[in-house]
Amino acid sequence: MLPSIASLALLIASASAHLLPPSEHTQETLQGPVQDEDYHIPTIHESTVMARRIMHLSSISTLITTFPAPSLHSILSGNASDDEQLTTWENRPPEMAGSPIGLMEYYADCEPASGNPTLLAINIASPYKNYAAGSNISMHIRWWPTQTNSYLSSLFSSSREEEDIPTPHTPAALPRFSLHGRLEPISAADLARHVVPACFMAAHPDSALWQPGNDIHTSQYMRFVVEHIYWFGGFGDRARIGWLPVDEWRSVTRAEVEAMRLPGEEKRRKGWGGRDWL
Ligand SMILES: *[C@@H]1O[C@H](CO)[C@@H](O)[C@H](O)[C@H]1NC(C)=O
Ligand SMILES: *[C@@H]1O[C@H](CO)[C@@H](O)[C@H](O)[C@H]1NC(C)=O
């Protein structure tokens, strides 16, 4: 027999009351029932290791930069630089100067001793052009183990793997973070010492097409030197939200990254389940 509209509405109402997340922006008292007895808010160190593991397992980021103002030189002389010719070509409205733009960018975790992610910069891509023109830069990375978008799906789900996710099973409950810092070219010696091209291509096989020296674009390997880390661990009643010390970030060891398990990762996965280090 089909449930009546009224009983369905009641089910959804009680489900939402149970599953609606507490405010994301406070570290205040618990607002919902917590089932796991051994649960605690991760420490700063644990949160930092989680962030380093997310950086290791993921390989897709969003790079955020701001558009430069047109240079005075080009306004006065009408002599446009390459960048300004490109600006004309891409039709950028002048009022975009100073406005931030976030675009997806590949990265790889190729220098784990320092925790600086590696980018393969194509010189004509907006983030690198903006950075070269004086923009600040930040990099957003997130953890999303399963493609689930709704609260209700977790109500009716019975799979083991999903039960491991301790909060309402939605992207909003999962950790993400923002790295702030600067870009610097990776020297030929460091490229060789850290096997950077092989590491990057293991994470991104299609990047073979725009490796340095290709016929289409000028590209080079860049190191994103991490200077500040903003961590958003999930809902404020059970995750840490705030800035993490960069010294913690840099001192995380490979063994700690390997031992950490993130929400939704299989707990008893044998051996090192992620991508191998080179
Ligand atoms: C434009 O500027 C470049 C240097 O930025 C200079 O070499 C060139 O002569 C200039 N061209 C004109 C037409 O002013
Ligand atoms: C970059 O950020 C610093 C603060 O870290 C700020 O003082 C500076 O104005 C910013 N630069 C631009 C181009 O927005």
Q: How far, in Å, from the CA of 136 to the mean position of ligand 2?
A: 6
CB 177 within 8 A of CB 141: yes
**Quick one: which ligand is closest to 181's CA?**
2
10 Å Cβ neighbour count for 226?
A: 20
The SS3 of residue 228 is strand
Q: What is the mean pLDDT of residues 166-171?
A: 62
Alpha carbon nearest to ligand 2 atom 5, residue: 136
- CATH code matching the domain that covers 44-144+156-259, chosen among 3.40.50.300, 2.30.29.30, 3.10.20.340, 2.30.110.10: 2.30.110.10
Whether 79 lines ligand 1, by a CB cut-off of 6 Å, is yes
Alpha carbon nearest to ligand 1 atom 7, residue: 79
The residue type of 67 is F
What is the atom index within ligand 1 of the atom nearest the CA of 77?
14
Alpha carbon nearest to ligand 2 atom 13, residue: 135
pLDDT tens digit string along 102-122? 999 999 999 999 999 999 999
CA distances from 203 to 27, 172, 187, 193, 252 (A): 36, 26, 20, 18, 21
Instruction: Report the residue among 76, 79, 84 best suited for mutation to probe ligand 1: largest number of ligand atoms under 8 A from its CB.
Output: 79
Name the more confident of 7 and 140.
140
pLDDT of 273 higher than 60: no
**Quick one: which ligand is closest to 69's CA?**
2
Mean pLDDT of the chain: 78
pLDDT of 12 higher than 50: no
Q: What is the mean pLDDT of residues 197-211?
A: 93
User: pLDDT exceeding 70 applies to what percent of the chain?
Assistant: 66
What is the atom index within ligand 1 of the atom nearest the CA of 81?
5
pLDDT at position 28: 38
CA distances from 43 to 105, 227, 230, 242 (A): 30, 20, 14, 12
- Name the token pair of 271: 């051996």
Alpha carbon nearest to ligand 1 atom 8, residue: 79
Burial class (CB in 10 A: 0-12, 13-18, 19+), 30: exposed
The SS3 of residue 92 is coil
The answer to whether the predicted template modeling score (pTM) of the entire model surpasses 0.95 is no
Q: Cα dihedral sign for 219, 225, 230, 234?
A: positive
Side-chain-facing half-sphere of 229: CA atoms under 13 Å: 32
d(CA 272, CA 277): 10
Give the angle 195-266-199 at the CA atoms, nearest 5°.
10
Name the more confident of 114 and 216.
114
Alpha carbon nearest to ligand 1 atom 1, residue: 79
**Quick one: which ligand is closest to 99's CA?**
2
Distance of CA 163 to the CA centre of its chain: 24
pLDDT tens digit string along 66-113? 999 876 655 666 666 666 666 666 778 888 999 999 999 999 999 999
Q: How far, in Å, from the CA of 72 to the mean position of ligand 1?
A: 14
The SS3 of residue 72 is helix
Q: How far, in Å, from the CA of 89 to the mean position of ligand 1?
A: 19
Q: Residue 79 contacts by C-beta under 8 Å, 6 or more apart in sequence?
A: 73
Side-chain-facing half-sphere of 228: CA atoms under 13 Å: 8
> What are the residue ranges spanned by the domains of the chain?
44-144+156-259
The SS3 of residue 109 is coil
pLDDT at position 34: 47
CB 83 within 8 A of CB 146: no
Alpha carbon nearest to ligand 1 atom 11, residue: 79
Q: How far, in Å, from the CA of 135 to the mean position of ligand 2?
A: 7
